[in-house]
Amino acid sequence: MTAQINATVAGVPRIGPKRELKKALETYWKDDSTGRNLATVATQLVNQQADNLTEAGLDSVPTIGRSFYDSMLDTSALLGALPTRVADIDDHGNDGLPAFIDRLFAAARGTAELPASAMTKWFDTNYHYIVPELAADTEFRLDDAALLADLGDQLTRGTAARPVLIGPLTYLSLARTTDGSDALTHLEEVFEAYARLLPRLAERGAAWVQFDEPYLVTDVDRDDARKADLLARTRAGYEALVAAAGDTNLLVQTYFGDGDLAIGTLSGIGIAAFGVDLVTGRTDERQADDTNVADADLLPSWTGTEQLLAGVVDGRNIWRTDLARALETLKTLAARGPVGVSTSSSLLHVPYSLAQETSLDNDPQLRSWLAFGAEKVAEVAVLSRLLTGTETEDDETAVAVAHDAVAGRRASERTRNSVLRTRTDAVTDADRRRNPFDQRREVQEQELGLPPLPTTTIGSFPQTTEIRQARAKLRKGELTAGQYHQAMVDEVKDVIERQEALGLDVLVHGEPERNDMVQYFSEQLDGYHSTDLAWVQSYGSRCVRPPILFGDVTRPEPMTVEWFRVAQSFTDKPVKGMLTGPVTMLAWSFVRDDQPLGATADQVALALRDEISDLVDAGAKIIQVDEPAIRELLPLRASQQPAYLAWAVGAFRLATAGVDDATQIHTHMCYSEFNELIGTVGDLDADVTSIEASRNGMRVLHALRDSGFELGVGPGVWDIHSPRVPEQDEVDTLLNEALEAVPARQLWVNPDCGLKTRGWDETTASIKVLVAAAEKARASVNA
């Protein structure tokens, strides 16, 4: 008889409620004699978390041990598969830190001599993992001393610790190889390494071990035969793990999508439980109706042989759960087999606790609509007591209070602004359409009088220490609002003068006044709430505070017009108005779940549309609407992508199509390869798109040429992510490649992305190179 889990969560954050790990890491990186402190802080955090979860009523507590940076990176270390270039790093693995700690950090962050590993977004979240670097000859040696020591500690402390490992299919599917080989040829080897680990975990008394296989919610492979082969090998691998595990129960966990494929692939081989996400794609009204599965139709592959850990509490958004409704789902499932209660994903993606969030002190209503990590754990515990019939009176009250809160949110005027709703109802396709590009281009060329191959930048200029200090002083009251404003005006003037001196054609104000390209706007829009302490790990020691988009979004007053005016007053050259697009405004926020994302995006779009109109009235001839995150929200399954792209494109066009022919709309995209999305870039119908290109060898150019792209385009010719000033030759070559792929009349010359993380010296030197390249190329175009 296998044991059962009644109440758990799918995973835990590591950075600490007050970002304790971040601070200890950064201290250690500055001074490695502080290793003892880092070890102590990490141990305390893990122990504290285990105690909290146990006290809150969970009967199985996921643990990743002391995880110092990222779980994918931990997995590489555990499997002995850190990049070979870090093997010789002199390691300070003493003071209670894992033996490989400095090699781990060298892989994650690079050193003065060695490049860092690539980092990319974890599925469709804003969390970044360190991409494993493998090759055909990678050997997987189990290096489990650190994990076993940590777990041993957890077990002796008496918490029901459940080690969480990244499953072989997911680990390898997200890996890259340095030699072009297929990482998945290692699938059996990784299973074998885990098969060696499992008895060692069992020996230490682990009752459960969890394998995360979120890759099983994707299409896995576009090729049906390859997909079938991978799934068959995965099944065989888990069969071997079950055999190796002895009395230890295995839990296979998926998240961010439908867990049915995981169950269908792995049922009947002795896995004890499947953990699944029952939130994504199921929240009321959030998705199109055809993906909103009724409780009775959930998980057709689940026959009740294995236990189901039903993730009914949202692990990646911050809304309070409607407990009554979740309980209905749980009961419907419990009629089919054994069910335990869990979250839809790891709590890594939400802040620790509402209790410490001071920004809500004056807004009890909004607070009552929310649940952060600790509150979600409590929800799981209540639901589990209700499901097992061990509830208390307090639990019944909790159900009623939660129901009222959810209903209150839906009915509140703060979430439903009738004036705005009348306006969105009246939006027609015509509002999303401009005149044909040819016609616009003619007018814009006359209006702007730019040279061929115009030069520009993406928006931000270096956010210097002085700028950040000024903002900190404003917060602390050491600068008045007026003094801060003047400091920013001076900065804008300086940035304009520098651009004039460098000979750029289209200028920007430099964005010194923006703390962050989403938060800056969210602070000025109604329907958004900015938090004080609601930190979420983004990668390594870096945390972000995504604002909360809780209600109908409206713009009380212009947001950027004054800064545009200031900037334009210092120059006769055109200054671009600079805005963040609707999709990116959603992607980097916690977004309401009570209406389709597309409806929310349209509300943001209308606010931007008004802002653009005000910018035009203030004299802006060019307006850029950044959409760096458009690729990030792309659904994991191909079948769901067209619907997403339709609303994403629709919202961008609603924001930008209100202008007349003479106004030139720019957009900017980065963070990924856009080759497959080039059709979408065209659909946005921006007059000019600047796009990251130099890091992947301008591959986007082929896509542009093959698709017959006719709009203006600026493939980035300077990789701003590298602190190196590019050689003249390099930029000349990139620009010439661009000229071969795209007619000169369409081409713009710009860097890959904004410059806020760069210093002034490298920025000035690099822009000189960029402008010189454009001038040279112009001579040949004119000839």
Would the annotation count 542 as a binding residue? Answer: yes
Would the annotation count 431 as a binding residue? Answer: no
Q: Which of ligand GLN, Zn ion, none lies near 650, with the C-beta cut-off 5 to 8 A by kind?
A: none
Q: Is 11 in the site for Zn ion (CB under 5 A)?
A: no
Stretch touching ligand GLN by CB under 6 A, among 27-35, 57-65, 598-606, 749-757: 749-757
Residue written as tokens 């911050």? 318
> Nearest approach, Cβ of 652 to Zn ion (angstroms)?
16
| C-alpha distance across the termini of the chain, in Å | 83
Q: Which of ligand GLN, Zn ion, none lies near 756, with the C-beta cut-off 5 to 8 A by kind?
A: ligand GLN
Q: Is 74 in the site for ligand GLN (CB under 6 A)?
A: no
Identity of the residue, 460 or 595, whose beta carbon is nearer to ligand GLN in the bound complex: 460
Stretch touching ligand GLN by CB under 6 A, among 345-353, 369-377, 475-483, 750-758: 750-758
Would the annotation count 468 as a binding residue? Answer: no
Q: Which of ligand GLN, Zn ion, none lies near 102, with the C-beta cut-off 5 to 8 A by kind?
A: none
Identity of the residue, 83 or 462, whose beta carbon is nearer to ligand GLN in the bound complex: 462
> Nearest approach, Cβ of 267 to ligand GLN (angstroms)?
43
**Interface with Zn ion in residues 645-684 (CB under 5 A):** 670
> Nearest approach, Cβ of 517 to ligand GLN (angstroms)?
5
Give the SS3 label for residue 571.
Answer: coil
Q: Let me know: does 460 contact 511? Beta carbons within 8 Å.
A: yes
Residue written as tokens 């649940």? 371
Identity of the residue, 331 or 699, whose beta carbon is nearer to Zn ion in the bound complex: 699
Q: Is 758 in the site for ligand GLN (CB under 6 A)?
A: no
Q: Is 197 in the site for Zn ion (CB under 5 A)?
A: no
Position among 117, 218, 460, 746 found at the interface with ligand GLN (CB under 6 A): 460
Stretch touching Zn ion by CB under 5 A, among 485-493, 521-529, 550-558, 746-754: 746-754
Position among 670, 693, 735, 777 found at the interface with ligand GLN (CB under 6 A): 670
Q: Is 714 in the site for Zn ion (CB under 5 A)?
A: no
Stretch touching ligand GLN by CB under 6 A, among 140-148, 457-465, 537-545, 546-554: 457-465
Q: Is 517 in the site for ligand GLN (CB under 6 A)?
A: yes
What is the rounded (10 degree) CA torsion for 614, 438, 754, 780? -140
Identity of the residue, 578 or 703, whose beta carbon is nearer to ligand GLN in the bound complex: 578
Total chain residues near ligand GLN (CB under 6 A): 13
Identity of the residue, 62 or 510, whose beta carbon is nearer to ligand GLN in the bound complex: 510
Residue written as tokens 């600490």? 16
Return phi, psi of residue 553, to 5°: -95, 125
Q: Let me know: does 726 contact 719? Beta carbons within 8 Å.
A: yes
CA distance 283 to 56: 26
Q: Which DSSP state fits 295?
A: G
Q: Let me know: does 97 contact 35? Beta carbons within 8 Å.
A: yes
Q: Let me know: does 607 contact 555? Beta carbons within 8 Å.
A: yes
Q: Let me know: does 340 contact 308? Beta carbons within 8 Å.
A: yes
Position among 153, 626, 685, 732 found at the interface with ligand GLN (CB under 6 A): 626
Neighbours of 437 (CB within 10 A): 17
Q: Is 753 in the site for Zn ion (CB under 5 A)?
A: yes
Binding to ligand GLN by CB under 6 A, coded x per residue (else -) over 410-439, reads: ------------------------------
Q: Is 582 in the site for ligand GLN (CB under 6 A)?
A: no
Would the annotation count 57 as a binding residue? Answer: no
Q: Which of ligand GLN, Zn ion, none lies near 104, with the C-beta cut-off 5 to 8 A by kind?
A: none
DSSP string, 155-197: HHTT--EEEEEE-HHHHHHT-EESSS--GGGGHHHHHHHHHHH
Q: Which of ligand GLN, Zn ion, none lies near 719, with the C-beta cut-off 5 to 8 A by kind?
A: none
CA distance 508 to 528: 27
CA distance 713 to 518: 24
Identity of the residue, 170 or 750, whose beta carbon is nearer to ligand GLN in the bound complex: 750
Catalytic residue chosen out of the listed positions 92, 403, 485, 721: 721
Q: Let me know: does 201 contact 163? Beta carbons within 8 Å.
A: yes
CA distance 638 to 630: 15
Q: Is 458 in the site for ligand GLN (CB under 6 A)?
A: yes
Return phi, psi of residue 343, to 5°: -95, 165
Q: Which DSSP state fits 35?
A: H
Residues in the chain: 783
- Say which residues have a Cβ less than 8 Å from residue 84's Cβ, sequence separation at least 6: none
Identity of the residue, 589 or 689, whose beta carbon is nearer to Zn ion in the bound complex: 689
> Nearest approach, Cβ of 127 to ligand GLN (angstroms)?
17
CA distance 662 to 659: 8
Q: Which of Zn ion, ligand GLN, none lies near 625, with the C-beta cut-off 5 to 8 A by kind?
A: none
Q: Which of Zn ion, ligand GLN, none lies near 459, with the C-beta cut-off 5 to 8 A by kind?
A: ligand GLN
Q: Which of Zn ion, ligand GLN, none lies near 460, with the C-beta cut-off 5 to 8 A by kind?
A: ligand GLN
**Interface with Zn ion in residues 203-222 (CB under 5 A):** none
Stretch touching ligand GLN by CB under 6 A, among 377-385, 452-460, 526-534, 762-770: 452-460
Would the annotation count 592 as a binding residue? Answer: no
Long-range contacts of 694-700 (CB under 8 A, 24+ apart): 694/718, 694/719, 694/734, 694/752, 695/719, 695/721, 695/752, 698/734, 698/737, 698/738, 698/741, 699/673, 699/675, 700/673, 700/674, 700/675
Q: Let me know: does 148 contact 201? Beta carbons within 8 Å.
A: yes
Stretch touching ligand GLN by CB under 6 A, among 132-140, 172-180, 360-368, 748-756: 748-756
CA distance 743 to 740: 7
Would the annotation count 511 as a binding residue? Answer: yes
Edge-first strand order for the sheet with 548-554 is 526-529, 548-554, 590-591
Give yes or no: 721 in active site.
yes
Would the annotation count 632 as a binding residue? Answer: yes
Q: Let me know: does 318 contact 279? Beta carbons within 8 Å.
A: no
User: 93-124 burial by CB neighbour count: b if 16+ within 10 A, else e?
Assistant: bebbbbebbbbbbbbbbeeeeeeebebebbbb
> Nearest approach, Cβ of 732 to ligand GLN (angstroms)?
24
Q: Is 629 in the site for Zn ion (CB under 5 A)?
A: no
Return phi, psi of residue 491, to 5°: -65, -45
Q: Is 668 in the site for ligand GLN (CB under 6 A)?
A: yes
Q: Is 756 in the site for ligand GLN (CB under 6 A)?
A: yes
Would the annotation count 753 as a binding residue? Answer: yes
> Nearest approach, Cβ of 671 to Zn ion (angstroms)?
7
Residue 57 falls in which region: left (phi positive, over 0), alpha (psi -120 to 50) or beta? left
Q: Which of Zn ion, ligand GLN, none lies near 513, with the C-beta cut-off 5 to 8 A by kind?
A: none
Residue type at 766 in one-letter notation:
S
Q: Which residues are tagged catalytic?
A: 721
What residues form the annotated binding site for L-methionine?
Answer: 458-460, 511, 626
Which residues make up the interface to ligand GLN (CB under 6 A)?
A: 458-460, 511, 517, 578, 626, 628, 668, 670, 753-754, 756
Which residues make up the interface to Zn ion (CB under 5 A)?
A: 628, 670, 753
